[in-house]
Structure 1
Amino acid sequence: MRTLTALFTAAALTFTAGLAQAKDVPVDQIPQLVKDGKIKPLEELNQIVMKLHPGATITDSELDNHFNGYEYEVELLDANKVEWDVDLNAATGEVLKNKKDD
């Protein structure tokens, strides 16, 4: 019985962890998501990020499909060479995370 309980628990944890993982959205799907109103245009999202860190340079960005919606994740390098991670709700532009990269 213990073995069965352990297996069930492991399976449940694996399933739950899988739900929490994000999936990268291919670049060619982004225009359709914008057209369908599911996300804001990336130019608009980049403007939000740049208002948080004027003069910074975007070094990397990606759009992820989370179980609860789309998230735009941006890495920046500011004028002082400090790296920042900024995450936005891609549908609303709400800032979800704005922190120095460790």
Structure 2
Amino acid sequence: MKTLTALFTAAALTLTAGLAQADDDVPGGEIPALVANKTIMPLDQLEKIAKDLHKEARITDTDLEKRLNGAYEYKVELELGRDEWDVVLDASNGKVLSDRRD
């Protein structure tokens, strides 16, 4: 009985952890429609907002994700010398949600 309880608990924890991280990457083919219907801002404008936070940095990676609540976030990774920054923006309005150094 203890083994069954332990297995059930492990399965429940695994499922819960998976749901907590269930953001979905948005396929590139969907982005033009999201911009056209003004669900998200154009990606170049979002990148400019991130670059304005770290003027001399260069963008190394970007990622558009749809959150479980339906909101879109644009994640921008920047590099300046040995410093790396992760900037997360609300893709609908460009608001900076986080700006942290790795």
* Large movers: runs of 4+ above 6 Å: 5-12
Q: For the aligned residues, what is the CA RMSD?
A: 2.0
The residue aligned with 2:35 is 34
Cα displacement string for residues 66-88 of structure 1 (whole angstroms, at most 9, x for unaligned residues): 0121010111101x331111100
Q: Which residue of structure 1 aligns with residue 20 of structure 2?
A: 20
**Whole-Å Cα distance in 1 between the matches of residues 48 and 90 of structure 2?**
14
Q: How many residue pairs align between the two structures?
A: 100
Cα distance 1:10–1:57, how it changes in 2: closer, same or farther (>3 A)? same
Give the aligned partner of residue 43 of structure 1. 44
Q: Any idea what SS the aligned residue of 1:49 has?
A: helix
Equivalent position SS for 1:87: strand
Which consecutive unaligned segments of at least 5 residues does structure 2 have? none
Between the aligned partners of 2:82 and 2:76, the Cα distance in structure 1 is 16
Instruction: Identify the residue that residue 97 of structure 2 maps to in structure 1.
Output: 96
Verify the 8 A CA contact 1:20 1:66 in the aligned structure 2: no
Q: Counterparts of 2:24 and 2:42 in 1: how far apart (Å)? A: 19
Are residues 1:65 and 2:66 paired? Answer: yes
List alignment gaps of at least 5 residues for structure 1: none
Q: Given the two structures, how large is their TM-score scaled by the length of structure 1? A: 0.80
Q: What is the percent sequence identity of the aligned residues?
A: 54
Shift of 1:10: 6.8
